[in-house]
Amino acid sequence: MRKSLAALTLLVATLGLAEGCAPVPLPHYAASPTKRVEELLVDSENMRMLGDEWERFWFLDQPSHMTPFRTHGGLGP
């Protein structure tokens, strides 16, 4: 009984560590140089846009109110 329980535990642990279709992690980018460059450009553009969204979320893209000059960010006179 203990041997079968140990074998079952080993099997579940092995399957848990090797999740997915392949037991080895697959590469993130393609092997073809032209396709790989295109994937890298898409990823870098997504990271640039993520930085812009982060600044917009924390209101870092707004004008600073700690200037010696009056800054008006609203509408009207």
pLDDT (tens digit per residue) in 22-37: 556 667 888 899 999 9
Please give the residue range of the domain that contains residue 48: 28-63
Is 37 inside a domain boundary?
yes
Asked if residue 42 belongs to a domain, the reply is yes
Number of domains composing the chain: 1
Q: What is the pTM of this model?
A: 0.39
Look at residue 20 and tell me if it is in a domain.
Answer: no
63 neighbors 73 (Cβ within 8 angstroms):
yes
CB distance 7 to 13 below 8 Å:
no
Rounded Cα distance, 25 and 19, in Å: 9
Tell me, yes or no, whether 23 lies in a domain.
Answer: no
Residue 17 pLDDT > 70 = no
Residue 34 inside a domain? The answer is yes
Return the H-helix or E-strand segment holding 27.
none
